[in-house]
Amino acid sequence: MFTRFAYAKINLTLDILGRRPDGYHEIASVMQAISLHDTLVFSRGQRLCIDCSDRRLAGPDNLVHRAAELLHRETGGVQGARVRLTKRIPLAAGLGGGSSDAACALLGLNALWRLGLGQDRLAELAARLGSDVPFFLKGGTALVQGRGEGVTPLPRPVPSWLVLAVPPVDVSAKTRTLYEALTPGDYTDGSATRRMAEAIEKQGRVDPRLTFNAFEPVAFRLFPELERVRTAMLEAGAPLVRLSGSGPAMFTIVPDRRAAHALRRRLAAGGVEAIVATY
């Protein structure tokens, strides 16, 4: 039996370059793994059994289950396993929780079943499970391109503190809805991501002023609740608020631990639950 952590991510930048011939969208993003995480416990079993602390994720559509089934199909495996997933990352929030769980499952089951699959093979399988999954095989800080399969590691920036808020937006097929709402005027040229990547490489830190998310105009237009929470964060003292991924999670980067917890308390007093994390 062993335990692995599946870390959430934020998008420090997210450029959407346009629609590809295969129907996906071409992106450029600087992704950053953060301390908020789910926990997966792996142990041997007679059959495949995935237990999850959140009953909404029970069943074969859970990405951990899909990752295990994919490994079975691709390796001809018949081994069983018991995987206990404890969720802490909010669902469908733009923080990559499901994708991180899937990557963690690939790595954990590769070790449990002694499959010996290398990084390139795991990355190929990860891309079949979801666009963000390849990033989570290594996590850290990375330039992500294509539809998510192109992952180039970046130097780890100076650690900092974050405050995250997840507005109560519950929309079926949220990411698809946002992509379908994009117009050519929402596409960007990738310059925001290039600037952020260059700043991290040269300065070794994240400049919050360089954060960017091309989804924001569309998301704030479709989901009015986002504006209420962003306004609450700014009024509580957040220096700058940015959407992560397709949302609805929003984050702000603050100077230190004390500032992070003070901001969280002010938000809670105003009825907005928030999470403190680091990267």
Active site residues: 9, 132
Strands (E), 131-197: 141-146, 150-153, 161-165
Q: Is 79 helix (H, G, I), strand (E, B) or coil?
A: coil
Residue with token string 């992500």: 144
Alpha helices in 141-253 (DSSP H): 174-181, 191-203, 216-222, 225-235
* Residue keyed to tokens 């608020």: 241
Which among 167, 157, 246, 248 has a CA at the least distance from the CA of 210?
Answer: 157
- Please state, in angstroms and rounded to a whole number, the distance separating the CA atoms of residues 31 and 236: 26
Residue that has been written with the tokens 């391109």 in this structure: 145
For residues 176-204, one letter each, b for 16 or more C-beta atoms within 10 angstroms of the residue's C-beta and e for the rest, the string is eebbeebeeebbbebebbebbbebbeeee
